[in-house]
Structure 1
């Protein structure tokens, strides 16, 4: 992969907004448009980690020409148009050389760093599948950083295919302890961008495959991220991005621990993110850390702590101006109240969550909230009613959550359907519960989540006395054949 520093021939020129691309977005929010880009990528077998921040950078003119993967996706979305029609500059003007002839490949690079991936071969060339060209992720006016290092960091979170085997096998991350002891050079914007990309990638992998196969591989990257913080940064703005990125990565790794049943590890990672947020005065990161802490406390059987953490998140989150964030935080509080069996307080928090969610999306919504749509709202409400023992209402919301979920997010479909199966079983509808449980079993070849498997195990126990009900024996037999969790 080409990784030489790219400098602008006009370093003092401010970026020019891409108005043509902005017109294409229309009335959609940046997050909604990013979702369309990701969907278009899947249609042509491409993989891009597009999010609201990327769309914002394109529209602001910071990304003058997209990399090859994004180019293919954009031209697929708007057939008959050229990159110039979409408001981009010619690749030769950005890269400083002419377009790459067909069949030509870039020079390989090798970069020693604390973070390494066995999936990365020093002889690898990017060729026609080069979705991580540096043009659309770096600051063209910052010449202080080593882009080779950022390429390796970014590659640590890449996968080689769409199947579980490809996603989790080549992913295998390792942490080079000897390299970790060597001094790390001061970080620049390329390292910050690579760290942010790593967070996006780990979230995408979790959405599709669950946490169990990812958690152990994520510890090394997290240590590498904090090593970058210790090394310092070339600029204060870059230091702020590194702190925010490291904190978000700590939360992502904490969630992987949470979803795979390692609650103590998750609590430690969330606390690390919270400390990072407090040290830098990052309200957005602090709200996110408290949000996840509330969710963990609820799942760990500490409902009062869940309420307190959710309320703390709301106090710090009000200044961020995101109604959707406040909606999710109200749902976290509702989960705590449900655990305390306070139905009135739970219903009040649910009502606030719904009212806030109905205000819609805004540019103030944090990037990490891309998962929070109507399906997640329904799923979290289902969990509240289930905790309160209102199985019929819980099943109604869980069924709706599974129906609303984007089919590409296998993990969430499995989660909502497992919730539905459990609610149906406990609500005295064993045949429907068995049917829903079989759907979850069908997804377990794509999803690895101890949390989901634990829910299925609970459903199986509830269904044991109902072996004569339609479908129940088949579900119990198939569930019993599952490999035991280590």
Structure 2
């Protein structure tokens, strides 16, 4: 009777980016670290890993079960492994295993002989620490989606980065160390992004540099891509649109963008915005087209870091609105903003506020003052009692400036300023 594929183990390998040869080597390294042996004996074959995936082997050797838990931070049962019915009735190795080696390994890792060989236990870092830090980072992403960048988010992100780096001082496998550097990069990029969203550019730039350094140590192309995406937005804030274009092109050149159409789409969208700011109509529209085609190829079920969750069809519509408005096509910008707001999930409160402000600007640029000012009234309730992020306050400042320029003597302009000044200026 054919065994069912171990879907939980397969999913974990895909989520964490493990190939069979790489995982086999990592597990052997863990076994060597745990036993303090310079040579682990007969190494784990990638064929055995494939047998675990296929379900042909349902219960790995003891030493590899321990190593799997160390690497993954999960119980082997959570990885889909379980003893066969035959094994439950009569203990016997599912794989060929030297019983002397097995007893030696168990003694070294769990028994009194282990204490004699290894000395006093040293607290190391494992997959559980990585999982905890990742969950905390995901919680910060949720906070960013709802409130936008602010001091509390920045401080929490910097504290997470500091902890991830500090854990490097404890015993850990090379894989765990890379994951910690990756988390430190993501935490630092989150702090940098919070500064960008709050328009604290002087604090953002050194954090971007630090995040790029950590992403390089982690060999994490997704984290590198994230930093260049944020650098592009910061460059626009500083009026350095050519620099923003270069940052978008750097994002497009990352391995993350080459391997995953979703990342490629975001990079093309950033390039489109930069071309629009530079007045390059055809390149801007061409980049938007590339972004749309890449997004159509992206697999929404593919595992990705939580920071990219904001990007999809709705965000591309929002970026399309910016591009069209910068190029002077306000009707198309208004239509794109409507599409963005229709598709954007409610949990992305900050992004909904931005899309609403962009809609108001597109309406204003068509001369529809009453509709535009009415649209802005929908912005403030989205963030509740939280202060508006600096980027959003600046965007509303642009709206106020264009409102006065369009109709300097219109009562609606004065009424808008009088009505919303408190919300708009509160920090």
TM over 0.5, shorter chain: yes
Correspondent of 1:386 among 305, 321, 325: 325
User: What's 1:333 paired with?
Assistant: 271
User: What's 1:476 paired with?
Assistant: 417
> Cα distance 1:219–1:318, how it changes in 2: closer, same or farther (>3 A)?
closer
Tell me which protein shows more helix as a share of its residues: 2
The whole-number CA distance in structure 1 between the counterparts of 2:195 and 2:316 is 23
Q: Tell me the SS of whatever aligns to 2:379.
A: helix
> Any conservation in 2 of the 1:438–1:475 contact (CA below 8 Å)?
no
Shift in Å, 1:320 = 5.0
The whole-number CA distance in structure 2 between the counterparts of 1:288 and 1:481 is 34
> Cα distance 1:312–1:218, how it changes in 2: closer, same or farther (>3 A)?
closer
The whole-number CA distance in structure 2 between the counterparts of 1:385 and 1:267 is 28
User: What's 1:107 paired with?
Assistant: none
The whole-number CA distance in structure 1 between the counterparts of 2:340 and 2:412 is 23
The whole-number CA distance in structure 1 between the counterparts of 2:263 and 2:370 is 38
The whole-number CA distance in structure 1 between the counterparts of 2:376 and 2:389 is 15
The whole-number CA distance in structure 2 between the counterparts of 1:311 and 1:462 is 31
Q: Tell me the SS of whatever aligns to 1:358.
A: helix
Shift in Å, 1:390 = 2.6
The whole-number CA distance in structure 2 between the counterparts of 1:374 and 1:322 is 16
CA RMSD in angstroms comes to 3.1
Correspondent of 2:294 among 335, 356, 361: 356
Q: For residues 165-209 of structure 1, give each alpha carbon's deviation from its aligned partner in whole angstroms, at most 9, with x where no partner exists.
A: xxxxxxxxxxxxxxxxxxx96532222112211221111111112
1:17 aligns with 2:7: yes
Q: Tell me the SS of whatever aligns to 1:270.
A: helix
TM-score, length-scaled by structure 1: 0.60
User: What's 2:367 paired with?
Assistant: 428
User: What's 2:176 paired with?
Assistant: 238
User: What's 1:26 paired with?
Assistant: none
1:374 aligns with 2:313: yes
> Any conservation in 2 of the 1:325–1:366 contact (CA below 8 Å)?
no
Q: Tell me the SS of whatever aligns to 1:214.
A: helix
Correspondent of 1:268 among 200, 206, 210: 206
Gaps of 5+ in 2: 19-71, 77-121
> Any conservation in 1 of the 2:15–2:303 contact (CA below 8 Å)?
no
The whole-number CA distance in structure 2 between the counterparts of 1:351 and 1:319 is 16
For these two proteins, the number of residue pairs brought into alignment is: 320
The whole-number CA distance in structure 2 between the counterparts of 1:185 and 1:16 is 31
> Any conservation in 2 of the 1:335–1:384 contact (CA below 8 Å)?
yes
Correspondent of 1:283 among 207, 218, 221: 221
User: What's 1:221 paired with?
Assistant: 160
1:449 aligns with 2:389: yes
Gaps of 5+ in 1: 1-14, 23-29, 31-51, 57-136, 142-183
The whole-number CA distance in structure 1 between the counterparts of 2:258 and 2:304 is 9
Q: For residues 5-42 of structure 1, give each alpha carbon's deviation from its aligned partner in whole angstroms, at most 9, with x where no partner exists.
A: xxxxxxxxxx95349x99xxxxxxx9xxxxxxxxxxxx
> Any conservation in 2 of the 1:215–1:253 contact (CA below 8 Å)?
yes
Larger gyration radius, structure 1 or structure 2: 2
Q: For residues 245-289 of structure 1, give each alpha carbon's deviation from its aligned partner in whole angstroms, at most 9, with x where no partner exists.
A: 111111111111110001222222222111122234322222222
User: What's 1:93 paired with?
Assistant: none
1:138 aligns with 2:86: no
The whole-number CA distance in structure 1 between the counterparts of 2:224 and 2:75 is 30
Q: Tell me the SS of whatever aligns to 2:378.
A: helix
Shift in Å, 1:312 = 1.8
Mapping for residues 338-349 of structure 1, pairs under 5 Å: 338-349=276-287
> Any conservation in 2 of the 1:322–1:362 contact (CA below 8 Å)?
no
Shifted more, 209-218 versus 429-438: the winner is 209-218
Mapping for residues 189-208 of structure 1, pairs under 5 Å: 189-208=127-146
User: What's 2:103 paired with?
Assistant: none
The whole-number CA distance in structure 2 between the counterparts of 1:363 and 1:321 is 15
User: What's 2:261 paired with?
Assistant: 323
